[in-house]
Chain A
């Protein structure tokens, strides 16, 4: 079976992110970019399923400018078989991204779509659910364990109330949470091999998608800072202050 994995180019998770001088965006000077860490986990899961003989092909797809090829090369180096870049410089909102991915799904007809539960730039946590809705597929979000058997996926999901287990027939959309796996480091041989793997470039128009962005980021600012309080010398002073000054116990 074929697995489609979406891969977003985002700032490196360890980079310091600050507002730009105009406040309309973040400061992108010298900013390191990376594969969205949740997508990297989704990709790792897809590659493991292939290595375990449960999947036959892993296709990575990204949407963005030409520079997103870098992240697709990383995906190929990790072990994806081929990659698709839907190239656009338009700023897309989540419904637009879901529409483009839905068109890629129709073209590729995978049995499973895996992606990160959210991207660490906008932190929206929407695209997987919107994609599943548009395609009328079942969904399993926030997966921390995936077991495939007899055309179904048994998925453990991280919810606020604990680990929920659901079973869904395939095809389905599954979004990866942090504890699904630990992605591998890319080996040099993988990087070399990735150069000869196919990377196809399409446009939204090639896929018959007209995107209409209804949501725009117009301002970026630092959150209000919280100032440090006082040091206490022992637990007696602490309890006294919590009772008499803060009045919270």
Chain B
């Protein structure tokens, strides 16, 4: 199987979010994969070169400075065709959901979203992926080539470094890239904290955090003491306590850090779908019956306002 990995970029810089897709390719087709990175004058190409890809192709063009699906999809389709790729793969993110599904539409290719396992049997690909808000796992058979796939980051982990460097080759953009949709701006950002989907530690808060200042003080404070990222429940986001991009869960982000601390999070099915693959889960909640305790490795029944300041201090001291 020849795999073309589509690197996640914001048009200017390659993101480490690409790494699980590279880990997927190493497992599925270690000697036959290439990586395509699209943007203009892309930074951090070296993020991609140390994992055994046959080539890292870069497409640079003034129309590609921002990741608009209408512009990126034809570039991917063009190179997938040129390379004769059997699979076009990226890590599941909003970038890949937007761009790769359009690529599948251009290629009239079937697409597997957010897969957690893949094997071949009798000439068919057989993939597992979460369905019904991650309440169930579905096994899908798919025929045809190419097949477009997004792979669930936590299921594939990080790639293994190789000694040889992949060659970086600049590749052409196809002619006539459509330029109807225009990029106007981006609000948000992690404020210097690690990216939520990449962080080793995530501290999440729920609606009992009252307001944005309280949320930032308690949840942000503990996250900073641990060098971690901040997450939130849908209820916290919906009530305006935390920004949208911090939402963890089926309609938000999927995370699987080494340590996930859920503070005043009840543990709805939708929230659990986004974090239950975390290595160690800690729950702090006043309600001893909260469902979050059913998945937590360590549970503390307590009022967050009483215990979080002390916990934050202890963590600071233990790391000092």
Interface set of A (CB-CB < 8 Å, partner B) = 11, 13, 17-19, 26, 93-95, 98, 120-126, 128-134, 136, 138-142, 144, 154, 157-169, 172, 177-179, 214-223, 226, 228-236, 238-239, 241-243, 246, 248-249
Q: Which of A157, A162, A228, A249 contacts B319 (CB 8 A)?
A: A249
B111 at the interface (CB under 8 A from A): yes
CA distance A240 to B85 in the complex (A): 51
Residues in chain B near residue A120, CB distance under 8 A = 132-133
| CB pair B114 A98 closer than 8 Å | no
Q: Which of A121, A128, A229, A235 contacts B296 (CB 8 A)?
A: A229
Residues in chain A near residue B298, CB distance under 8 A = 229-232, 238, 241-242, 246
Q: Which of A18, A130, A223 contacts B102 (CB 8 A)?
A: A130
CA distance A125 to B296 in the complex (A): 30
14 contacts between A and B (CB under 8 A): A26-B136, A129-B102, A130-B101, A130-B111, A133-B106, A164-B183, A215-B142, A222-B135, A228-B299, A231-B299, A236-B314, A246-B259, A246-B297, A249-B259
CB distance from B264 to the nearest CB of A (A): 15
CA distance A125 to B93 in the complex (A): 11
| CB pair A11 B132 closer than 8 Å | yes
Residue of chain B at shortest CB distance from A11: B132
B84 at the interface (CB under 8 A from A): no
B141 at the interface (CB under 8 A from A): yes
Residues in chain A near residue B319, CB distance under 8 A = 249
Q: A123-B133, A133-B106, A136-B178 are in contact. Are A161 and B10 (CB under 8 A)?
A: yes
Residues in chain B near residue A167, CB distance under 8 A = 181-182, 184
Q: A95-B104, A141-B97, A215-B140 are in contact. Are A235 and B314 (CB under 8 A)?
A: yes
Q: Which of B189, B307, B310, B318 contacts A243 (CB 8 A)?
A: B318
B172 at the interface (CB under 8 A from A): no
CB distance from B139 to the nearest CB of A (A): 4
Interface of B is mostly: mixed
B315 at the interface (CB under 8 A from A): yes
| CB pair B110 A95 closer than 8 Å | yes
| CB pair A160 B197 closer than 8 Å | yes
B216 at the interface (CB under 8 A from A): no
B311 at the interface (CB under 8 A from A): yes
Residues in chain A near residue B314, CB distance under 8 A = 235-236, 239
Residues in chain B near residue A172, CB distance under 8 A = 181
Residues in chain B near residue A231, CB distance under 8 A = 293, 298-301
Q: A129-B69, A144-B244 are in contact. Are A154 and B297 (CB under 8 A)?
A: no
| CB pair A162 B189 closer than 8 Å | yes
B225-284 CB contacts (< 8 Å) to partner A: 226, 234, 238, 243-245, 250-251, 253, 258-259, 276, 279-282
Interface of A is mostly: mixed
Residue of chain B at shortest CB distance from A219: B139
CB distance from A4 to the nearest CB of B (A): 17
Residues in chain A near residue B201, CB distance under 8 A = 248-249
B124-141 CB contacts (< 8 Å) to partner A: 126, 130-141
B224 at the interface (CB under 8 A from A): no
| CB pair B310 A214 closer than 8 Å | no
CA distance A122 to B132 in the complex (A): 6
Q: A98-B105, A133-B73, A178-B251 are in contact. Are A142 and B132 (CB under 8 A)?
A: no
| CB pair B178 A126 closer than 8 Å | no
Residues in chain A near residue B251, CB distance under 8 A = 177-178
Residues in chain B near residue A139, CB distance under 8 A = 69-70, 98, 102, 181
Q: Which of B114, B188, B302 contacts A123 (CB 8 A)?
A: B114
| CB pair A218 B97 closer than 8 Å | no
Q: A94-B111, A132-B105 are in contact. Are A165 and B185 (CB under 8 A)?
A: yes
B213 at the interface (CB under 8 A from A): no
Q: A132-B102, A238-B282 are in contact. Are A124 and B135 (CB under 8 A)?
A: no
Q: A130-B101, A215-B141 are in contact. Are A234 and B300 (CB under 8 A)?
A: yes
Residue of chain B at shortest CB distance from A241: B298
| CB pair A140 B181 closer than 8 Å | yes
Q: A161-B186, A220-B131 are in contact. Are A248 and B299 (CB under 8 A)?
A: no
Q: A129-B98, A139-B102, A141-B97 are in contact. Are A221 and B136 (CB under 8 A)?
A: yes
| CB pair B188 A214 closer than 8 Å | no
| CB pair B311 A238 closer than 8 Å | yes
| CB pair B315 A249 closer than 8 Å | yes
B68 at the interface (CB under 8 A from A): yes
| CB pair A166 B97 closer than 8 Å | no
| CB pair B245 A95 closer than 8 Å | no
CB distance from B268 to the nearest CB of A (A): 11
CA distance A195 to B173 in the complex (A): 53
Q: Which of B138, B295, B315 contacts A228 (CB 8 A)?
A: B295
| CB pair B130 A223 closer than 8 Å | yes
CB distance from B199 to the nearest CB of A (A): 12
CB distance from A167 to the nearest CB of B (A): 5
| CB pair B294 A228 closer than 8 Å | yes
Residues in chain B near residue A236, CB distance under 8 A = 314
